[in-house]
Amino acid sequence: MRLTHLMNGMDVLESSGDFSLDVSDLCYDSRRCGKGSLFVAIPGLKHDGHYFIEEAVKRGAVCVVHEKDIISSKGVASVRVRDSRLAMGSLGKNFYGNPSGEICLIGVTGTNGKTTVTYLLESILKEAGFNAGVIGTINYRYGGQTFQSLNTTPESVDLHRILREMADYGVTHAVMEVSSHAIDLKRVDACEFEMGIFTNLTSEHLDYHGTMENYFLVKKRFFQELITGGKKIVNGDDPWGMRIIQEEGTRALVFGIEKSCDVSAFDFKLSMDGITAKIRTSDGEFGLISSMIGKFNLFNILTAVTAALSLDITRGDIVAGIEKVKNIPGRLEMVNAPGDPAVFVDYAHTEDALKRALENLVEFRKRKIITVFGCGGDRDRTKRAPMGRVATELSDIAIITSDNPRTEDPLGIIGEIEEGINRNSIEKFLSGNIYGNQNGKGYAVIPDRREAIELAISIADTADIVLIAGKGHEDYQILGTGRISFDDRIVTREALARRRARG
């Protein structure tokens, strides 16, 4: 594509070079540049792309887009812009022919529930006869094909490439998880959304945003600036959701349980077998059934139902689509066999998500609740002590272990988690004597995650509930700067098999 066409809509401060040249591809990683590439120099969280311009040119880049003053390379077009990230989104949109304009693009944002809502909406859309695609934390997928996701929301260039693949395949609706990082880093600014969905807002990513208010303002920007002409679906039971509605001043379709909303759930029953509920809308009421468990999943279902109703999908297709979703990978995913303790693997890695998971499991307890959890390294440290408090207060036995420690000392992370525990009422067990101290509340520290899971399974009675929290669908563990193969579901099933073999 001609460089002049690529620059349509860009806020160019100054430029030089030949703009009639053809650009073969776009890249923001200098190592991926080749002959005919356009390189966008973006300031990253760890590295600044402006320091890699020379390498990009050596590899064949014919144009450089940048926001800082640089010395132009001979024979290479140079474009200085106010914001490289914003420009990259515009370039991606132009290069791939504005694919989001050919698809009904639905953005789902919020701290918790994004992944589950995308799975539910995907199922409903397919039931209604649409060709649906999904971009999210676990993967991106369409047409029976599944691809690995590196981020919850891809970088803008990658995002437009994926949307182009979907549009060319015939995808009619794409449901995308939109993270706060993606909004703040302008990965989705050049996308044309037909709908924005807000699930909830709880403490997370404060290492990046600094405060909850800053975190909220980023989410608000998604609805204020990026969903200007689209439909807005907002959780009316969430105070941050109500702020979006009040401060935005535009009409939104509101869902909830606690308050009178446009779409609400009532007369619901929650059990280990699933959820039954009635849905009330301005057009009447209808019932639904789901094998998913917990009140927070009722909220996720209600979110998807509200979005589907706004798309004029029939109640029959909505009910059938919900019923077909049996579980979400790593989201309160049951991994035990009949006769085992009930064991769930969940992605809960924030105070609120862990609290919601445990509060729902407490409703179904017959004896003890045993929780295995940790906190990620090089991430928001403010959530560690609160997670320690929640886990030990809502569990009978909590086993604190490593999550993805990354470059931090695992014992240092665990120490910060322990700061939130009330040691006056909750005993610290040594791993060796935990077997004989199961009558009172307590916790143990087992830094090795595999050993921690093994211990939890070995001490559990068949009437107990075990929650393995934090990593969910992940099939790796990050130690230092490297990854090892580690899947909580596989490790737990192996531990359960050994438990059965012991009799």
Domain ranges of the chain: 3-90, 99-324, 333-502
> What is the β-pairing status of strands 77-81 and 12-16?
antiparallel
* Tokens 């909004």 found at: 183
Residue range 300-339, pLDDT digits in tens: 999 999 999 999 999 999 999 999 999 999 999 999 999 9
Q: Angle between the 384-394 and 351-362 helix axes, to the nearest 10 degrees?
A: 10
pLDDT of residue 277: 98
pLDDT above 90 covers a percentage of the chain that reads: 88
Q: What average pLDDT does the segment 211-240 reach? A: 93
Q: Is the dihedral of CA 63, 69, 72, 77 positive or negative?
A: positive
Q: How far apart are alpha carbons 457 and 470 in whole angstroms?
A: 17
Q: Which CATH class is domain 3-90?
A: alpha beta
The DSSP H or E segment spanning 449 is helix 449-459
pTM of the shown model: 0.93
Other CB atoms within a 10 A radius of the CB of residue 196 amount to 25
pLDDT above 70 covers a percentage of the chain that reads: 98
CB contact at 8 A, 352 and 320: no
DSSP result, 144-204:
TEEEE-SSSS--HHHHHHHHHHHHHHT--EEEEE--HHHHHTTSSTT--EEEEEE----S-
Q: What average pLDDT does the segment 488-499 reach? A: 98
Domain 333-502 has CATH 3.90.190.20: yes
Give phi and psi for 90, each to the nearest 5: -65, -40
3-state secondary structure of 362: helix
Q: How far apart are alpha carbons 12 and 19 in whole angstroms?
A: 13
What per-residue string of b and e applies to 217-237 under the rule 16 or more CB within 10 Å gives b? bbbbebbeebbeebbbbbbbb
DSSP result, 32-59:
G--TTEEEE--B-SS-BGGGGHHHHHHT
pLDDT of residue 228: 81
Q: Greatest CA span in the chain, whole angstroms?
A: 78
Mean pLDDT, all residues of the chain: 95
CB contact at 8 A, 37 and 60: yes
What are the Cα distances from residue 489, in Å, to 7, 117, 334, 344? 47, 22, 9, 9
Q: How far apart are alpha carbons 370 and 400 in whole angstroms?
A: 11
Going by the DSSP 8-state scheme, the letter that residue 225 receives in this structure is I
Of 14, 170, 183, 15, give the one whose Cα is nearest residue 89.
183
pLDDT of residue 150: 83
Q: What is the third-level CATH fold of 99-324?
A: UDP-N-acetylmuramoyl-L-alanine:D-glutamate ligase (3.40.1190)
Going by the DSSP 8-state scheme, the letter that residue 379 receives in this structure is S
> What is the β-pairing status of strands 369-373 and 465-469?
parallel
pLDDT of residue 206: 83
> What is the β-pairing status of strands 482-485 and 476-479?
antiparallel
Going by the DSSP 8-state scheme, the letter that residue 102 receives in this structure is G
Residue range 117-168, pLDDT digits in tens: 999 999 999 999 999 999 999 999 999 999 999 888 999 999 999 999 999 9
Residue range 462-487, pLDDT digits in tens: 999 999 999 999 999 999 999 999 99
CB contact at 8 A, 272 and 293: yes
CB-based contacts of 443, cutoff 8 Å, min separation 6: 391, 392, 395, 397, 398, 399, 400, 421, 426, 427, 428, 429
- When pLDDT is cut at 50, 70 and 90, the band that residue 432 belongs to is low
Give phi and psi for 206, each to the nearest 5: -75, -15
Q: What average pLDDT does the segment 253-277 reach? A: 94
Residue range 271-292, pLDDT digits in tens: 999 999 999 999 999 999 999 9
- The distance of Cα 291 from the centroid of its chain, to the nearest Å, equals 22
Q: How far apart are alpha carbons 231 and 236 in whole angstroms?
A: 15
Q: How far apart are alpha carbons 267 and 334 in whole angstroms?
A: 26
CB contact at 8 A, 143 and 172: no
DSSP result, 400-435:
E--S--BTS-HHHHHHHHHTTS-TTTSEEEPTTTGG
CB-based contacts of 272, cutoff 8 Å, min separation 6: 293, 342, 364
99-324 shares its CATH topology with 333-502? no
Residue 438 predicted with pLDDT over 60:
no
- When pLDDT is cut at 50, 70 and 90, the band that residue 239 belongs to is very high
Q: How far apart are alpha carbons 113 and 303 in whole angstroms?
A: 9
CB-based contacts of 117, cutoff 8 Å, min separation 6: 108, 175, 197, 199, 300, 303, 304, 307
Residue range 12-69, pLDDT digits in tens: 999 999 999 999 999 999 999 999 999 999 998 889 999 999 999 999 999 999 999 8
Tally of residues, the chain: 503
